[in-house]
Amino acid sequence: MKFPKSHSLQEIANLLNCKFIGDKDFQVLGMNEIHVVEPGDIVFVDHPKYYDKALQSAATIVLINKEVECPEGKALLISDDPFRDFNILTKHFKPFQFANVAIAPSAEIGEGTVIQPNSFVGNNVKIGKNCLIHSNVSIYDHTVIGDNVIIHAGTILGADAFYYKKRPEGFDQLISGGRVVIEDNVGIGALCTIDKGVTGDTTIGAGTKLDNQVHVGHDTVIGKKCLIASQTGIAGCVIIEDEVTLWGQVGTTSGITIGAKAVVMGQTGVTKSVEGGKSYFGTPIEESREKLKQLANIKKIPEILSKLK
Which residues are annotated as catalytic?
Answer: 218
Q: Rounded to whole angstroms, how far apart are CA atoms 36 and 299? A: 46
- Comparing C-alpha atoms, which of 176, 269, 252, 198 is closest to residue 36? 198
Q: Could you tell me if 200 and 217 are in contact, meaning their C-beta atoms sit under 8 angstroms apart? A: no
Q: Rounded to whole angstroms, how far apart are CA atoms 204 and 192? A: 13
Q: Annotate 103-155 with DSSP letters as a single string.
A: B-TT-EE-TT-EE-TT-EE-TT-EE-SS-EE-TT-EE-TT-EE-SS-EE-TT-
Contacts of 170 (CB under 8 A, 6+ apart): none
What type of residue sits at position 67?
Answer: E
What type of residue sits at position 78?
Answer: I
Reply yes or no: is the peptide bond before residue 284 cis, omega within 30 of 0. Answer: yes
Q: How far is CA 304 from the centre of its chain?
A: 48
